[in-house]
Every structure is written in C-alpha cells, then in structure tokens.
Amino acid sequence: MKLPAFAALPKNFLALAGIVLLAIAISPVAADGSRVFLEIGNLTDILRQISLIGIISLAMTFVILTGGIDLSVGSVLALSTSLTAMWLTRGYTHSVAVAILVAVAACALAGAVNGLVIAFTDIQPFIVTLASMIGVRGLAKWLSSNQNIDIGFGQDLAAHFAAVFRQKALVIGSYAAASAAFWTLLSRTVFGRHVRATGDNERAALHAGLPVRSTKVWVYTLTGLLSGFAGVLYAAENHQGNPNAGVAYELDAIAAVVIGGTRLSGGKGSISGTIVGTLIMGVLTNMLRLNNVDSNVEMMIKAVIIVLAVAVQRGKGGNGA
Amino acid sequence: MVHKCAGAALVAAAALAIAGCSGPAKKQFFVAFSQANNAEPYRAAQNELMTQLFARQPDVKLVISDAQQDNSRQVAQVETFIRQKPDLLIVAPNERAALTAVMGQAMDAKIPVICLERDILQPNYTSYVHSDNLTIGHMAGEFIVEQLQKKYGAPRGNVVAIRGLLGVEGEINRDKGAREVFAKYPDIKIIADPVADWIQAKAKDRMTEVLRAQPKIDVVYGHNDPMAVGAYLAARELGRDKEMLFVGVDGLGGEAGGIKKVMDGVLAATFVYPLCVDKAVDVALHILRDSSFRPEKEYRIIPTLVTSANAAELYGK
C-alpha cells in the first residue's frame, strides 16, 4: 500500500499533530473570538510547564538507550532545590553562580555514584537507582531539617536569583539549549553511538572493545546533572527549596521517553522522539485543563493516550521495537 | 493499518471524553477553584461543601482542579485558569512560597482572588479566608493540661505528639501552640514526637514504636484526627488504649470524621478546624454580584472544641 508523503514522518509526530489539532478544535473561545489554546501566553505556558520534566527526560533517554533506568531523578531534583535555596538564603555564598554550581555538582556526583555502582557491579540499574531514590531523598530532608527553605520576594540574593531564573524565556530557553545539546550528543558524536551500542547488545559492544563501563558512568552522571539543573529552575519557579519536591517525576520522565518511541529495553530511540513525547503530555494536560475536564477523568484519559500513542508507533512503519 | 485505527481511536476517545465539557454558558459566572490536594479528607470536605453551596446558585459554574499536592502542578493549573479568564479564582495553596507569584499574575489579570486557608508570602489576593492553627495549638494544650490536672490532681504527665508534614504552617503552629502551653508546666513532658505526615497508617507505625519504647503515656496529641486515630489503633493492638487519652484536630463531620470518633469514645477531643468554605463562598458571591462590595483583606474563623458533651449535636449539623 502506498502511503501519502506525510506518513513518512515518525508516527509520534503524527500523534502530536493529532492532539494539537484536537486541542485547537475543542479550545474554549475567548471574548474576541480567538482560541484560548492558541494564545501565545498559553502556548508558552505549556512550554514552561513541560521544561523541567523535559530536561530530565533528555538524560533519561540516554539512560534508557543503554538499557538502564534512573528512578532517582525526583529525589536528586529535591536535593538540588534544597542546596540551591540553602546556599542562597544562608549566606554561604554571595554569588548565584556558585550556589547553582554547588547544587548541580552535588547532583552530578550523585548521578556518578549511581553510574559507578551500575557499571562496576552486576546489580541492576532499577535496584541501584531505587536505593538512591530513597537515600538521596533522605539526604535532602536531612540537610534541610525537613523544612522548606523559602525564597522571599525582597531585594536579597535569593530573591534576585528567583526573579531571574523563573522567567519563562530563560526556562524555555534552557530546555531548548539542553535539547539541542543532547540531540547533537546522541546523533553526532562517538559517545552517542556508544550509548546506543551498549543498549542494543551489551555483550557485542564489549567484544568490540567499546567503553561500555565509562559510557554507563557518563549517562548516569549526565542524568544527575540535568536533574540538578531542573532542581535549580524548580527552586526559582516555586520560590523555595523543597526536600519533598519531585515525587513521581521519574515516572513522568519515563512516560515522556517511551511515548516518544524509545524502546524500554534499550538500543533504539531518539531525543526528538522524547521531546515529542514530552510535548504530547504537556499539550494533553493543557487541553484537558482548558476544558475543565474532571481531574480524575484527566488521569484516565492520559492512561489511554499513553497506550494509544505507543501503539500508534508500533504499527507499520514504526521503529520496529 | 494498526496505527491508523489506533490513531483514529485516540482522537475519538479524547473527543468523547471531552464532549459535554464545553465552556461556561453566557451570562453565567465562572468560578475556578484550585485545590491543593483532593486526597486529604479535609480538602475533600472543602470541595464537597463548595460544590454544594455554589450548586444552589444557578448563575454560577464552579470548576475545581486538583494539584495532587504538587507545587508545580498547581502553578500550572492556576496559569491555565488565568487563560480562561474566570470571574473569580479561589486558591487553596499547596505551599506558601510556590503559589505567591502565580496568584499575583491572576491579580494582575484583574481576576478577583480568594486565598483559602493557607497563607502566601505576599498579599496577592483580594481576600484571605482562614482559621488559626496557633489558637488550635493553644486550645489543645490547655485541654490536655486540664485532663492531666483531673487525672493526677496536678498538671503533670507524659505526652506524645504525632506530627504532620514538617514545614507546613498547620504543623508548625499546632505544635508550637501546644508547646507554648506546656512550657508553663515543667512536669508535663513531651516524651516523643514522631512525624507521620498527616497519614493514619504512618501514625500507627510510628506510635507502635513509641509504645514499645515508652512504658507510661498519658495523652497522645495527634496534629490531625487521622494520626490520632492511627495512634489509638496502635495502642489498642497492644492493649494499652485505656491507659491514655487521644486528642486530634480537624473535627470533620461524616462517618469517618473526627467528630464521630469523639462520639465513639476513640478521641477524647478534637478541634474543628473550620473548612472556611462558607465564608469564602459568601465573600465570592458578594464580589461577583455587587461591584461596590469591598471585602475585608482577611477573615479569621474561630475553631471549636469538640468533646463527648457536644459531639452528637455537632455531628447532626
């Protein structure tokens, strides 16, 4: 059967296009006759709202491509929000850059520990990162004595930080820049090829002399780093360090990756797919909220969409996973 | 063909789900309520009462969103509400700092905002309707002192406090208020204060550990009713429930609420932390219908002590 030209597009793009068209079709109409969904303010709301999960899911794509999983991203984000707020509000530093660097470096270190344990023992990534999900959450709560560390709206360093880093343009720009960097890393570098090879057939990759272990250490380090950066943005957006932040974010990130067509067993997938997967979830949430769909029904609809979106891609012309 | 069928089904399913959820009809007031977490009984009771009260007003359409105790999700939901330009926005903030800015955005968009129950960092609201947890803490502390006085003829004894989610205003002040009272009586000691995050099952586990460690307990002060009940269940399991009194906070109505637990003799007392919804709806209707109405910046609702003496009467209400 000859398919029309647009069918050559990856199936997840079609799924996204379908949801966007539906969102436009059923969008509430503003007083001036325009569609609320298409307002620039609303569209940028969506992008800002998906940016944190979006950033985490970029790195999660790498982890899943190696055949691994990282359950600790939400806890690492919480650690980052707490460290950022502590450094800024308790006078440990007079530089926003130092505070961010401390938070992100600590999170990259947490990721590196995950990676080292996974690469040099035969404990499965699920178990290693489950342990760090618990442990890092504990660390964040311990460091902050279970308290939220509020960032005020005054004239101090912390307030200045929040005012800058909660700007829509900066948040969305960060997501865009990270997306570009990770797309390049995966599709244009030797490291990217090693990531895929590790997940595709680890034994073959080892026999071929590829640096499987260091690849694994790096992907988990990158996940820690990006989760940490997402935590910095969270602290600014929410004006607080919050050791209870990010619960279940790992599931949202994993959902975005698999909706984007990356095979959960590794080897096959793409950054562009993950971005589309993230957008699908973001547009869907916005569409349902704009139409005031009951939040319990919203969860049921999302469940159906997740399965259908993956089913669409597994059809003819999908990535054959 | 699989993908095409699936694609069609996807669109059909979503369209079906949304059918009937069209926007508000003309000449109707659209009130948006952003709730922090539907899963807490107190908040579920708020939702129910608010739905009931607005349902009596044929010209008001109420929509409630549930942030599932997630700051980012609530910020996103309020942003989306702002796009819909409601006639009035009610926000029960999940946490103070996180919602402050976005509620300011709503005010900037000329939407009247009622802040319900939890405080925010800046007064980004038209009116703030709340009760007072510090007063509840004081009232609970005084009630406990009175009970110990009755038991021993002097204010002395061992108290266990079961704490909610740390860092939350309700937790801080329910704890602080009672401690301020106990500080006047050196022979009243808080011998353990485990954290159970407002959750009954966790309170039962934490209380079991306390019971193993503490041979003598006079009063358990749960910072909400479910935790006090959880502590009671733990004591009962170990056959020690008669040894001590259980005091809770929230005093919700209904079969599972704290007032019923006082009637059943499980709790010695609870304090009705008012839902604040009656007042909020009242203020909301005035704002909607009377453009000259200027609400107070703040309304404080006083808590009520519930004991076996008045539980049945309050339960009937």
What local confidence, expressed as pLDDT, does residue B176 receive?
97
- Taking CA–CA distances from A50, the nearest residue in chain B reads B76
Residues in chain B: 317
B71–A242 CB contact, under 8 Å: yes
| Contact map slice: B 147-176 vs A, CB within 8 A | 165-167
Q: pTM score, two decimals?
A: 0.78
Question: Do A65 and A254 touch, CB atoms closer than 8 A?
Answer: no
User: Residue A146 above 80 pLDDT?
Assistant: no
How far apart, in whole angstroms, are the C-alpha atoms of residue B252 and residue A314? 50
Half-sphere exposure of B126 (CA within 13 A, CB side): 23
Question: Do A23 and A287 touch, CB atoms closer than 8 A?
Answer: yes
Query: Does the CB of B108 have a partner CB in chain A at under 8 Å?
Result: no
A238–B79 CB contact, under 8 Å: no
Query: Does the CB of A308 have a partner CB in chain B at under 8 Å?
Result: yes
How far apart, in whole angstroms, are the C-alpha atoms of residue A221 and residue A113? 8
pLDDT in tens, A24-42: 999 988 878 889 999 998 9
Query: Does the CB of A126 have a partner CB in chain B at under 8 Å?
Result: no
DSSP state of A296: H
3-class secondary structure, A1: coil
What local confidence, expressed as pLDDT, does residue B2 receive?
45
Which of A232, A296, A308, A319 should we substitute to test contact with B (largest number of B Cβ atoms within 10 Å)?
A308
pLDDT > 90 fraction of chain A, expressed in percent and rounded: 71
> Which domains are delineated in chain B?
29-130+276-299 (3.40.50.2300), 133-273 (3.40.50.2300)
Query: Does the CB of A91 have a partner CB in chain B at under 8 Å?
Result: no
> How many Cβ contacts (< 8 angstroms) between chains A and B?
145
Query: Does the CB of B309 have a partner CB in chain A at under 8 Å?
Result: no
What local confidence, expressed as pLDDT, does residue A318 receive?
43
Minimal CA separation from B293 to chain A, in Å:
25
What local confidence, expressed as pLDDT, does residue A8 receive?
54
Q: Going by C-beta distance under 8 Å and a sequence separation of 6 or more, which residues neighbour residue A25?
A: none
Minimal CA separation from B10 to chain A, in Å:
6
What ipTM does this complex have? 0.74
Select the residue of B11, B95, B96 nearest A18 (Cβ to Cβ): B11
What local confidence, expressed as pLDDT, does residue A316 receive?
46
Query: Does the CB of A52 have a partner CB in chain B at under 8 Å?
Result: yes
Q: How many Cβ atoms from other residues are within 10 Å of residue A99's Cβ?
A: 24
How far apart, in whole angstroms, are the C-alpha atoms of residue B234 and residue B241? 8
User: Residue A20 above 60 pLDDT?
Assistant: yes
- Taking CA–CA distances from B3, the nearest residue in chain A reads A312
CA angle, A290 as apex, B287 and B28 as ends, to 5°? 35
User: Residue A180 above 80 pLDDT?
Assistant: yes
Minimal CA separation from B54 to chain A, in Å:
16
What local confidence, expressed as pLDDT, does residue A320 receive?
40
Q: Phi/psi zone of residue A196: left (φ > 0), alpha (ψ -120 to 50 degrees), beta?
A: alpha
Query: Does the CB of B1 have a partner CB in chain A at under 8 Å?
Result: yes
Minimal CA separation from B71 to chain A, in Å:
7
CA angle, B52 as apex, B127 and B305 as ends, to 5°? 70
Which of B166, B193, B197 should we substitute to test contact with A (largest number of A Cβ atoms within 10 Å)?
B166
How far apart, in whole angstroms, are the C-alpha atoms of residue B64 and residue A91? 41
pLDDT in tens, A234-282: 999 888 898 989 999 999 999 999 999 898 889 999 999 999 999 999 9
Q: Hunting for tokens 């932040």 — which residue is that?
A: A245
Of the candidates B91, B231, B254, the one whose C-alpha atom is nearest the C-alpha of residue B162 is B231
Minimal CA separation from A119 to chain B, in Å:
34
Query: Does the CB of A116 have a partner CB in chain B at under 8 Å?
Result: no
Tell the burial category of B108 from Cβ atoms under 10 Å away from its Cβ (0-12, 13-18, 19+).
exposed
In chain B, residues with a C-beta closer than 8 Å to the C-beta of A315 are 1-4, 6
How far apart, in whole angstroms, are the C-alpha atoms of residue A157 and residue A151? 9
How far apart, in whole angstroms, are the C-alpha atoms of residue B233 and residue B245? 12
- β-pairing, B219-222 vs B245-247, is parallel
How far apart, in whole angstroms, are the C-alpha atoms of residue A41 and residue A58? 25
Query: Does the CB of B111 have a partner CB in chain A at under 8 Å?
Result: no
Query: Does the CB of A293 have a partner CB in chain B at under 8 Å?
Result: yes
How far apart, in whole angstroms, are the C-alpha atoms of residue A48 and residue B105? 15
Select the residue of A291, A312, A317 nearest B10 (Cβ to Cβ): A312
Mean pLDDT of chain A: 91
* Residues pairing with B30 in the sheet: B61
In chain A, residues with a C-beta closer than 8 Å to the C-beta of B122 are 153
Select the residue of A42, A151, A300 nearest B83 (Cβ to Cβ): A42
Question: Do A265 and A202 touch, CB atoms closer than 8 A?
Answer: no
* Residues pairing with A150 in the sheet: A240
Question: Do A48 and A109 touch, CB atoms closer than 8 A?
Answer: no
| Contact map slice: A 258-287 vs B, CB within 8 A | 285-287
What local confidence, expressed as pLDDT, does residue B24 receive?
45
In chain B, residues with a C-beta closer than 8 Å to the C-beta of A27 are none
A9-314 belongs to CATH 1.10.10: no
Treating both helix axes as pointing N-terminal to C-terminal, what angle do B200-213 and B225-237 enclose, rounded to 10 degrees? 50
In chain B, residues with a C-beta closer than 8 Å to the C-beta of A30 are 85
3-class secondary structure, A99: helix
Q: What string of H, E and C letters represents the secondary structure of chain B? A: CHHHHHHHHHHHHHHHHHCCCCCCCCCCEEEEEEECCCCCHHHHHHHHHHHHHHHCCCCEEEEEEECCCCHHHHHHHHHHHHHCCCCEEEECCCCHHHHHHHHHHHHHCCCCEEEECCCCCCCCCCEEEECCHHHHHHHHHHHHHHHHHHHHCCCCEEEEEEECCCCCHHHHHHHHHHHHHHCCCCCEEEEECCECCCCHHHHHHHHHHHHHHCCCCCEEEECCHHHHHHHHHHHHHCCCHHHCEEECCECCCCCCCHHHHHHCCCCCEEEECCCCHHHHHHHHHHHHHCCCCCCCCEEECCCEEECCCCHHHHHHC
In chain A, residues with a C-beta closer than 8 Å to the C-beta of B11 are 18, 22
- β-pairing, B157-162 vs B219-222, is parallel
Block mean pLDDT (10 aa), chain B, length 317: 49 49 62 93 91 96 93 94 96 92 96 93 94 93 97 96 87 96 97 90 89 93 95 93 96 85 95 93 96 94 94 86
CA angle, B27 as apex, B21 and B32 as ends, to 5°? 50
CA distances from B22 to A31, B18, B28, B60, B262 (A): 15, 8, 13, 15, 44
How far apart, in whole angstroms, are the C-alpha atoms of residue A285 and residue A48? 13
In chain B, residues with a C-beta closer than 8 Å to the C-beta of A152 are 97, 121
Select the residue of B6, B21, B85 nearest A291 (Cβ to Cβ): B21
What local confidence, expressed as pLDDT, does residue A167 receive?
93
Least confident of A61-70, A308-317, B137-146: A308-317
What local confidence, expressed as pLDDT, does residue A34 receive?
87
A312–B166 CB contact, under 8 Å: no
List b or e across B126-157, with b for residues whose CB sees 16 or more CB atoms inside 10 angstroms.
Answer: bbbbbbbbbbbbbbbbebbbebbeeeeeebbb
Query: Does the CB of A137 have a partner CB in chain B at under 8 Å?
Result: no
A150–B76 CB contact, under 8 Å: no
